[in-house]
Amino acid sequence: MAAQQLTKNQSLVLDALHHADGPLSAYTILDKLRDHGFRAPLQVYRALDKLLEFGLIHRLESMNSFVACAHPDHQHHHDHGVTAFAICEDCGQVTEMHDEAMEERLTVLAGKQHFKTEKTTIEIRGHCQNCTAE
């Protein structure tokens, strides 16, 4: 599955996420796209589902919202392994992190339980560097 040609709705949603300075909820996206003809939540959710499938965006479980993937070559659909997110509770900024050692550790953890991993969520809530400086 290579660089997928996005539909109009999918492109609009992806653009909205790219131009946002933080994660957006589905309903916030809906409001941003009303001028482009969006009327109902499903138009957003259907696009989000596809974008998630293509690996172009991520869902932040702890805040029911979505961010564009920070991976530079996001046109190429390739799983970029486990992702950890640092989410600032002050400014809302999200940092996407990848770490081989962490991934390895998770594999070991799951292995101990003979658990077959499908998807891993790691979200760190706290305060970013900017918001910590006093």
Partner DNA sequence: ATCAATTGCGTTATGCTATAACGTGTGGCA
Partner DNA sequence: TGCCACACGTTATAGCATAACGCAATTGAT
- Residue from 41, 81, 111, 126 in contact with DNA (CB under 7 A): 41
The enclosing H or E element of 28 equals helix 26-32
In the list Zn ion, DNA, a copy of itself, none, the entry touching 25 (Cβ below 5 to 8 angstroms by class) is: DNA
Considering beta carbons, is residue 36 or 125 the nearer one to Zn ion? Answer: 125
Cα distance between residue 68 and residue 62, in whole Å: 16
Considering beta carbons, is residue 23 or 30 the nearer one to Zn ion? Answer: 23
- Residue from 26, 69, 82, 88 in contact with DNA (CB under 7 A): 26
Cα distance between residue 64 and residue 46, in whole Å: 15
Considering beta carbons, is residue 30 or 50 the nearer one to Zn ion? Answer: 50
Distances (CA, A) of 1 to 20, 76, 79, 125, 129: 27, 9, 11, 33, 38
Name the residue among 119, 128, 129 with its Cα closest to residue 58: 119
Which residue ranges make up the site for a copy of itself (CB under 8 A)?
A: 61-62, 84, 86, 88-89, 95, 97, 99, 101-102, 105-106, 109-110, 112-129, 132
In the list Zn ion, a copy of itself, DNA, none, the entry touching 8 (Cβ below 5 to 8 angstroms by class) is: DNA
Considering beta carbons, is residue 52 or 106 the nearer one to a copy of itself? Answer: 106
Question: Does the CA dihedral 95-101-104-108 come out positive or negative?
Answer: negative
Q: List, in order, residues 6 or more apart from 92 with CB less than 8 Å away.
A: 21, 22, 23
Residues that bind DNA (CB under 7 A): 7-10, 25-28, 37-43, 45-47, 50, 64-65
